[in-house]
């Protein structure tokens, strides 16, 4: 009987943790400030940075480590047909990403869950 009680409490706590992440993702507004975190792998999956060859063609420097820790602000929010939110962000200091792209798009909920975007 104790095993069932522990399993029930664990399930309830996991459901509660999932709802808080969903509420944070639902509460995003234009003008909110976030920080770019470190990706789990070598590349960002949910922040749609351009590939290195496009950055170089536009005269930029393709160094993805330089964007870690940069503070960004939400400029627009778009709801896709499949229910995901596409958010466009720009840097708060006025610089461009990689000295070539002023705005990049983000799959917001997935970026928060993976740690690529962090709430300030």
> pLDDT tens digits for 44-100?
999 999 999 999 999 999 888 889 999 999 999 998 888 888 899 999 999 999 999
pTM: 0.73
Decide: helix, strand or coil at residue 47: strand
Angstrom distance (rounded) from CA 87 to CA 28: 9
Q: Using DSSP, state whether 60 is helix, strand or coil.
A: coil
Residue ranges covered by each domain of the chain: 29-119
Q: For residue 64, what are its two tokens? A: 């993805």
Q: Tell the residue number behind the tokens 């420097």, with chain if given.
A: 61
| Distance in angstroms (rounded) separating the CA atoms of residues 28 and 86 | 11
What spatial distance separates the first Cα and last Cα of the chain, rounded to whole Å? 43
């Amino acid at each position: 009987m104790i095993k069932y009680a522990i399993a029930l409490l664990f399930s309830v706590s996991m459901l509660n943790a999932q709802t808080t992440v969903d509420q944070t993702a639902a509460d995003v507004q234009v003008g909110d400030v976030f920080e770019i975190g470190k990706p789990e792998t070598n590349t960002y999956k949910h922040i749609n940075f351009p590939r290195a060859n496009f950055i170089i063609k536009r005269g930029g420097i393709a160094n993805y480590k330089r964007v870690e820790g940069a503070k960004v602000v939400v400029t627009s929010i778009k709801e896709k047909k499949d229910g995901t939110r596409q958010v466009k962000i720009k840097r708060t200091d006025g610089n461009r990403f990689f000295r070539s792209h002023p705005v990049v798009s983000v799959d917001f909920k997935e970026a928060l869950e993976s740690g690529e975007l962090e709430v300030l």
